[in-house]
A and B are shown apart, each in its own frame.
Chain A
Amino acid sequence: MKTIFKKVISKFVEGLLMMSGTVTTLAVLFIVFYLFKESLGLFNMTPVEDSYSVLVNKNNPVKKLSAQQIKLVFDQEITNWKQLGGNDAEIELFRTEDISNYYSEDEIGKNFEHLAQRINEHIEKHRGIIAFVASEYEMKNAASVPLSVDKITLLELMKGKEWFPTAQPAAQFGVLPLLMGTLLVSLGAILLALPFGIAAAIYLAEIADTRFRNIAKPLIELLAGIPSVVFGFFGLVVIVPMVQQWFNLPVGETALAGSIVLGIMALPTIITVSEDALHNTPRSMKEASLALGANKWQTILRVVIPYSISGITTAVILGIGRAIGETMAVLMVTGNAAVIPHSILQPVRTIPATIAAELGEAPLEDYILKHCSF
């Protein structure tokens, strides 16, 4: 009886474990699939917001523009259609609200009932016009034609140098500045944290006396548990002014400040994990090395570190993971300028910071959301 009961229990536990394993795997797969599905939707969209159109005169030979070109036109960096492959004519910009410059209130109508017609008239009169209006004011078979805008492509996403998801009429989704910002900040953090982290770990494991190690190690581990916002605050009030002063900068919120804060955040992880690995090197290994006439440093470099290299690698990966994925602290100290950084002393914006900063403004099914999930 007892053995049967035991068997049933063990079968039950086995089933439970199998179920939880399967469910977890499926959930992870589902999440990955969902994110990919969501993000791939991005490439079927035009960068012009829904229910808005970009209109040109029917006789204008230019029928198709890229998001980049539209932005340049509306920024008045391109002022002639010739530059876009059209006739030699000045580009006239037009937005819905500009209509009041050309027509009186009576002509437009008290409730804007004639607005669509007036816009149409205006476009007919001006050959070089480019108008950004709500789609409801666009008339069928009229003097204006909607300009078709290139869809967002993967290449554009990766190569685009500008990140303006809220730009009108055409949003800019160049992810390069964010990518560069993330890489720069993370690289700086790793370069700062790795040498110090591994040096501290070697000191604690091999050189410091036991009493000091027993006090220092828990303190460092405590440091790993501090929330990132606190590190961000510390960075904001201490590191940022310091960076500003050192390099005599107009603002201290730079990639360097981000790297320093991230480096400090990654340090405890790197130190504790690699110290554990170093500390686990068997005493007999060290003794064998010392007995062969090696000094302390040779023993550390040639025996202790090679023996614990897998643990050190784990420490580095965990540290880097924290550096790349970190959001809050970076958001607070890097200045959040989505431009390609030319030096470590410029403000940058990282991908996680962008997600955190802009997700609140992104309506569901919107570009940014899709972009973020990409």
Chain B
Amino acid sequence: MEKQFKDKESIEDVMQMQEPSKQNRTVKIESRNMELYYGEFHALKGINIAIKTNSVAALIGPSGCGKSTFLRSLNRMNDLIDGVKISGQVLIDGKDIYNSKALRIEELRKKVGMVFQKPNPFPKSIFENVAYGLRVNGISHKSFIEERVERSLKQAALWDEVKDKLKKSAFELSGGQQQRLCIARALAIEPSVLLMDEPASALDPISTAKIEELIYELKSDYTIVIVTHNMQQAGRVSDMTAFFYLGELVEYDSTKKIFTNPEDLRTQNYITGRFG
């Protein structure tokens, strides 16, 4: 025990384990004065936000406002783009993900799962798609993988539809099924945060409803950050809503407040459809 108390982080970890009720009140994701440049372009201007554990935060705003950029900076996906410069702090579980030497980028991404706008299953079988994350993280125990795949597919409400064709190519599934497969794939490695970049924008209303239902169910185990262009969707699924405009975080408050009584005029204009 003494060893663990040596640094501050492990003290926090232990406290969290001891008092699960406190978890709901802890901040999972936090950014402090975060600035992001694409070359010369100032894409994110001084973002300060705190997202609580086991809540759903929706990021809304017109196209090009930086909401996707912010989402992608939470699992360092922007590192893939040439000429990206980031300053300020992004903390997940209190650890600075950009400046911490202790946190490897692969570990971060294992902890922060992501679902993309378009379904992007691998050209592999359904089973292998879900097992991929486990395999690249060095797990090769067969029955463990099978068990985890089944559980993830059940969590993503896809199990009943694919249980008889796990060996078939993932491309044989419909768009909505593929997107749920991508969610299952992200869930298989047991992240604690799930980032969703317009997960339902390429889907029909029925598939969209299924995904939204899924988000609602996943909320109890995961912290979810979702980017959406669909106001109704943001209103339906999220606890908190952040409005981004021209690289700034204009307003961040409870979803109810944003949609009924926003403080900023720009937010009001946007949600009432006057621009954007």
Interface residues of A (CB under 8 A from B): 209-210, 282, 284-295, 298, 302-303, 306-307
Chain B residues with Cβ below 8 Å from A288 are 116, 120-122, 182, 185
Given contacts A210-B82, A287-B80, A298-B136, contact A292 B186 (CB under 8 A): yes
| Residue in chain B with minimal CB distance to A285 | B120
Contact of A292 among B82, B107, B124, B185 (CB under 8 A): B185
The answer to whether B113 touches A291 (Cβ under 8 A) is yes
> Which applies to chain A's interface (DSSP): helix, strand, loop or mixed?
helix
Contact of B106 among A287, A295, A303 (CB under 8 A): A295
The answer to whether B120 touches A292 (Cβ under 8 A) is no
B189 within 8 A of A: yes
- Other than the known A293-B106, A295-B106, what 20 A-B pairs have Cβ atoms closer than 8 Å? A284-B116, A284-B118, A285-B120, A287-B80, A287-B114, A288-B182, A288-B185, A289-B136, A290-B77, A291-B109, A291-B116, A291-B186, A292-B132, A292-B185, A293-B110, A293-B189, A294-B106, A302-B132, A306-B123, A307-B122
Chain B residues with Cβ below 8 Å from A209 are 82
B75 within 8 A of A: yes
Bitwise, B79-119 to A at CB < 8 A (1) or not (0) is: 01010000000000000000000000011011001101010
The answer to whether B109 touches A292 (Cβ under 8 A) is yes
The answer to whether B189 touches A292 (Cβ under 8 A) is yes
Chain B residues with Cβ below 8 Å from A293 are 106-107, 109-110, 133, 136-137, 189
Interface residues of B (CB under 8 A from A): 75, 77, 80, 82, 106-107, 109-110, 113-114, 116, 118, 120-124, 132-133, 135-137, 182, 185-186, 189
Interchain CA distance A290-B133 in the complex, whole Å: 9
The answer to whether B77 touches A287 (Cβ under 8 A) is yes
The answer to whether B136 touches A302 (Cβ under 8 A) is yes
| Residue in chain A with minimal CB distance to B182 | A288
Chain A residues with Cβ below 8 Å from B186 are 291-292
CB distance from A209 to the nearest CB of B (A): 7
Given contacts A292-B132, A295-B106, contact A285 B122 (CB under 8 A): yes
Contact of A291 among B77, B82, B121, B135 (CB under 8 A): B77
Chain A residues with Cβ below 8 Å from B110 are 292-293
**From B75, B106, B110, residue with most partner A Cβ within 10 Å:** B106
CB distance from A96 to the nearest CB of B (A): 73
| Residue in chain B with minimal CB distance to A306 | B123
Chain A residues with Cβ below 8 Å from B182 are 288
| Residue in chain A with minimal CB distance to B118 | A284
| Residue in chain A with minimal CB distance to B110 | A293
CB distance from B71 to the nearest CB of A (A): 11
The answer to whether B109 touches A287 (Cβ under 8 A) is no
Chain B residues with Cβ below 8 Å from A303 are 122
Chain B residues with Cβ below 8 Å from A307 are 122-123
The answer to whether A292 touches B133 (Cβ under 8 A) is yes
The answer to whether B120 touches A290 (Cβ under 8 A) is no
Interchain CA distance A284-B106 in the complex, whole Å: 17
14 A-B residue pairs with CB within 8 Å: A282-B120, A284-B118, A285-B122, A287-B77, A289-B136, A290-B77, A291-B109, A292-B132, A293-B107, A293-B133, A293-B189, A302-B135, A302-B136, A303-B122
Chain A residues with Cβ below 8 Å from B124 are 306
| Residue in chain B with minimal CB distance to A307 | B123
CB distance from A315 to the nearest CB of B (A): 18
Interchain CA distance A287-B114 in the complex, whole Å: 9
Interchain CA distance A291-B77 in the complex, whole Å: 7
Chain A residues with Cβ below 8 Å from B82 are 209-210
Chain A residues with Cβ below 8 Å from B133 are 292-294
CB distance from A310 to the nearest CB of B (A): 10
Chain B residues with Cβ below 8 Å from A284 are 116, 118, 120
Chain B residues with Cβ below 8 Å from A286 are 80
| Residue in chain B with minimal CB distance to A295 | B106
A-B pairs, 5 with minimum CB distance: A293-B110, A292-B133, A294-B136, A284-B120, A291-B114
Given contacts A293-B109, A306-B124, contact A287 B116 (CB under 8 A): yes
CB distance from B159 to the nearest CB of A (A): 20
The answer to whether A291 touches B75 (Cβ under 8 A) is yes
Interchain CA distance A286-B120 in the complex, whole Å: 10
The answer to whether B123 touches A290 (Cβ under 8 A) is no
Interchain CA distance A209-B83 in the complex, whole Å: 11
CB distance from A288 to the nearest CB of B (A): 5
The answer to whether A290 touches B122 (Cβ under 8 A) is no
Contact of A290 among B80, B121, B137, B185 (CB under 8 A): B80
Chain A residues with Cβ below 8 Å from B116 are 284, 287-288, 291
Interchain CA distance A295-B116 in the complex, whole Å: 18
Interchain CA distance A358-B1 in the complex, whole Å: 86
Interchain CA distance A97-B88 in the complex, whole Å: 101
Interchain CA distance A323-B124 in the complex, whole Å: 33
| Residue in chain B with minimal CB distance to A299 | B136
CB distance from B89 to the nearest CB of A (A): 22
Interchain CA distance A360-B189 in the complex, whole Å: 69
Chain A residues with Cβ below 8 Å from B122 are 285, 288-289, 303, 306-307
CB distance from A292 to the nearest CB of B (A): 4
Chain A residues with Cβ below 8 Å from B185 are 288, 292
The answer to whether A292 touches B113 (Cβ under 8 A) is yes
CB distance from B110 to the nearest CB of A (A): 4
